[in-house]
Amino acid sequence: MTNVSARRGIQSVEIAFRILSALQTSVRALPLKEIAALSELTPSATSNYMISLVRTGLVSADEKPGCYKLGPASLALGMSAINQLDGFDIVRREVIALRDATLSGAAVTAWTDDGPVSLFKQEGQTRSILELRTGLIPLVTTAAGKLFIACLQASRTDELIAREMSGEKDWSAAAMREEASAELRKNGFSMVHRGNLGYVSVAAPIWDRDGNLQFAISLIGTPATLDTDINGEAIKALLESAVRATIALGGKVSRQIG
C-alpha cells in the first residue's frame, strides 16, 4: 500500500489547513498579519485564501475590522468529528447522568496531538468562577490533564508541560508524572485544587479494550459545592460512571499505572 504522506496532494488544501489551524489555536479573533505569521505565509497570500475560507463558512470576519475567527462550517465539522468518535455517545450520556446525580459540573475529555480537549460538558447547579468550556484545556492544572500525564508516554506530554510551566520555578515533568501516577494507583482518580480560584476538579479514567486511557470523565466545582471526600457520594458516582463507560466500550476496568 502506498504511503499517503509520500503521495502527491493539493498544496492549496494543505495551506488552507495551516490557516485554519492558526485560528484554532486562539480563543479570540486574530488580525490578518498574525494569522499570516502563524501560517508562515505573506499577508497578501493569506488574504487571498481568506476570501475563499469566508465564502465557505470555514472562517468568519470578526466585528473588529481586519480580524478573523473560525466560522460556522468549522464548528459543524468539529461537531461531526466528535459525534464520529468511537464511544462518544456512551460517555456523553454518562456526563449527563453524572451531572444529574451530583448537581456539579461534569465533562468528558480526550487526548489530541495538541493536548487534552474537552468534548462535552454540562454546567452544575452552581457555577464556579471558571466557566466550563469545550475545546483545548490546560494539562497541568486540570484533573483530566493529570490523568493524561499519568497514563501517556513522557514524549507525548513533556513539551506541553514545559510550555504551561514556562516562567515557573522548581518543577519537573518527571516528578509531576510520578505524582500523578501514584495518585491514580492509590485512588483510581486524579484531583486538582486551585484554592486561589475557588476551583476543584476530579477526573476518573475510561479505559479502552487495550487498557489505554480513552477518555477522562470529570466533576468540576468549588470546595463549597463539590465534596471531594474519597468515600463521599460524588466520588462514588464519578467512579461508577467511569466503570460503566469502560464496560460499555469493551474496555478493561482496572489497570496498573507506572
What does the pLDDT look like over 181-213, one tens digit per residue? 999 999 999 999 886 667 899 999 999 888 899
Sheet holding 135-136, edge to edge: 135-136, 115-122, 105-112, 213-221, 199-207, 190-194
Q: How far apart are CA 111 and CA 108, in angstroms?
A: 11
CB neighbour burial string for 16-29, b if at least 16 within 10 angstroms, e if fewer: beebbebbeeeeeb
Domain 4-77 architecture: Orthogonal Bundle (1.10)
Domain 85-248 CATH assignment equals 3.40.930.10 = no
3-state SS class at 145: helix
Average confidence (pLDDT) over 33-57: 94
| pLDDT at residue 112 tops 60 | yes
Q: Residue 28's pLDDT is what?
A: 87
For the chain, the domains span: 4-77, 85-248
Q: Residue 250's pLDDT is what?
A: 82
> What is the rounded average pLDDT for all residues in the chain?
87
Contact 86, 208 (CB under 8 A): no
Q: How many CB atoms lie within 10 A of CB 3?
A: 6
> Can you give the pTM of this predicted structure?
0.68
Q: What are phi and psi of 28, to 5 degrees?
A: -130, 165
For 119-165, what is each residue's pLDDT tens digit? 899 988 866 555 556 678 899 999 999 999 999 999 999 999 999 99
Q: How far apart are CA 138 and CA 142, in angstroms?
A: 6
Residues 6 or more apart whose Cβ sits within 8 Å of residue 14: none
Q: Which helix (H) or strand (E) holds 69?
A: strand 67-70
Q: How many CB atoms lie within 10 A of CB 160?
A: 19
Average confidence (pLDDT) over 172-181: 94
When pLDDT is cut at 50, 70 and 90, the band that residue 83 belongs to is low
The distance in angstroms from the start CA to the end CA of the chain is: 36
| pLDDT at residue 254 tops 80 | no
3-state SS class at 149: helix
For 53-62, what is each residue's pLDDT tens digit? 999 999 999 9
When pLDDT is cut at 50, 70 and 90, the band that residue 86 belongs to is low
| pLDDT at residue 65 tops 50 | yes
